[in-house]
Amino acid sequence: MLIRLLQTLVALGVLASNIVFALPDDQDKPIYITADSASINDTTGITTYKGNVIIKQGSLLIEAAHVDMHRANGDVDKLIAKGSPAHFRQQQEVNGNFTDAWGRHMVYMVNKKELTITQNAKVIQAKDTFTGTKIVYDLNKSIVNAFGSTSANSKDKGRVNMVIQPSKKK
């Protein structure tokens, strides 16, 4: 069982090697945020946004019911998004496809460029779909790691699911 899971993770990493490239200038663009309410805590550096939160920066889009924005040294360091589900979207290359991710809980480590999606994690890139209990993107290295449930109550214990569409031949 463990060997099969490791094989799946290696295959997923190989198949996803071209999946997650963000536009290079996204991080240099301003961040636009709308929400029903916002609460700023200068002591902790955390701003909490609630109610139909929409965050845009270049091609990056985050939509959630609740977002905690952590700041360090004046810059955004981490975003924690919660929703039913929360949604993350980013374009990989100019005029290219978008990668979309959904989950009830997402943690985006801005400086590390790492997105962790948990609780009904799903990623769609082009026409390929990845689902699992947890999906971790390393945006710098273009590596995707997906994990299935370890709960004894889950019918898909230890399983991830992928649908890879065939490439169209000319």
pLDDT above 90 for 164:
no
Q: Is the pLDDT of residue 118 over 90?
A: yes
Residue 43 has pLDDT above 80, yes or no: yes
Q: Domain 2-163 falls in which CATH fold?
A: lipopolysaccharide transport protein A fold (2.60.450)
Is 50 exceeded by the pLDDT of residue 99?
yes
pLDDT in tens, 54-91: 999 999 999 999 999 999 988 999 999 999 999 999 88
Which segment of 63-67, 127-131, 165-169 scores lowest on mean pLDDT?
165-169
| Distance separating alpha carbons of residues 53 and 83, to the nearest angstrom | 10
Domain boundaries defined on the chain: 2-163
> Residue 27 phi/psi, 5° resolution?
-70, -15
